Amino acid sequence: MTTLLSHYLDSVRDNLRLDHSSETEIIDELETHIQDRVEELKQSGLSEEEATKRCVKLLGSTKLVARQIYEAHSQGTWRQTLLASTPHLFFALLFALNWWYSIGWLSVTIVLILGTAAYGWWHGKPTWLFPWLGYSLLPVVVAGILLLYLPKGWSWLAILLYIPLVFWLLYSITVQTIKRDWLYSSLMLLPAPVIIGWFLAVALEGKFPEYSLERLQHFAPWIGLTFLVLAASVAMFIRLRQRWSKIAVLLISGLLTLTLVAFYTEGSLGSPAFSVLILVMLGLFLTPALLERKIRRGEQKPVTKMPSY
């Protein structure tokens, strides 16, 4: 196969953003089509170079082909939709039914989340995995909060060790996720802004933990509601086909849940904090896109010039 056709197939693959086995099968199918077409064009009297150029023109834009194939594959099944929404539903139930302070229920939830995330991670990273993966980072966050309550001196030392470790862990998981599709990283980070929002609104007002736990109990039904909104957003994300509509769902969901936090906490989350949270949300959701671009540029082969299609 000529360099031009190889570049054509590479360009389709780069824009597909599907799982590895689906991508391989699609590229194989396009390759057999190209072989048939080039052979026929050569039989009609064209040279190898002419046949190749004609074949690429007949196939059409790589971005258009990849986008349409992506949309054919991007809609998850109802089973995948339910599985992807489940961790958000768990947290909605934990708060709505006031089970969040029961060590038993919390332990069951954490074990289930860690187990499911590990299973999905080692079984081809299916679409439903990413919301579970996001929650599996919660024990790390909780450990960080608890470090604040160590004796003076020890607390700073632990935090200095903890922060680089957390950044390294988050970066490694995000990079692995981005290799599949940056949108899944954003899906994984979906609950982060709302958790930070509730933490700021509930825990920073007064002495932790007694007063905050009381406030947490007061706001529990509304916290449950925000997780329910996240579950509905994830369901929509999985069922939608177009990328732009998936991105829109994530952004609307982030805005809506943060507005709910600000509304129900009646001023605990002031305008500056709300604005900063919106910026954090945009940063968390859109940074994976920039990271993906950087990673792909780094991985590109040092070819002299990429032809445009």
Q: Can you give the binding site for another protein, defined by CB under 8 A? A: 12, 25-26, 28-30, 32-33, 35-37, 58-62, 64-65, 68-69, 71-73, 75
Taking a C-beta distance cutoff of 8 angstroms, is the pair 258, 199 a contact? no
Those residues whose C-beta lies under 8 Å from the C-beta of residue 41, and which sit 6 or more positions away, are: 50, 51, 54, 55
Cβ nearer to another protein, comparing 69 with 281: 69
Cβ nearer to another protein, comparing 72 with 157: 72
Cβ nearer to another protein, comparing 26 with 92: 26
Three-state secondary structure of 158-201: HHHHHHHHHHHHHHHHHHHHHHHCHHHHHHHCCHHHHHHHHHHH
Cβ nearer to another protein, comparing 62 with 174: 62
Cβ nearer to another protein, comparing 29 with 214: 29
Cβ nearer to another protein, comparing 63 with 296: 63
Those residues whose C-beta lies under 8 Å from the C-beta of residue 249, and which sit 6 or more positions away, are: 233, 236, 237, 240
Least separation in angstroms between CB 42 and another protein: 15
Least separation in angstroms between CB 18 and another protein: 10
Least separation in angstroms between CB 70 and another protein: 9
Least separation in angstroms between CB 161 and another protein: 48
Least separation in angstroms between CB 59 and another protein: 4
CA distances from 155 to 152, 158, 161 (A): 6, 5, 10
217 vs 302: CA distance, rounded Å = 58
Least separation in angstroms between CB 65 and another protein: 4
Q: CA-based Rg of the chain, rounded to a whole angstrom? A: 24
CA distances from 203 to 40, 196, 197, 211, 217 (A): 71, 10, 10, 8, 12
Least separation in angstroms between CB 11 and another protein: 11
220 vs 93: CA distance, rounded Å = 10
Cβ nearer to another protein, comparing 38 with 194: 38
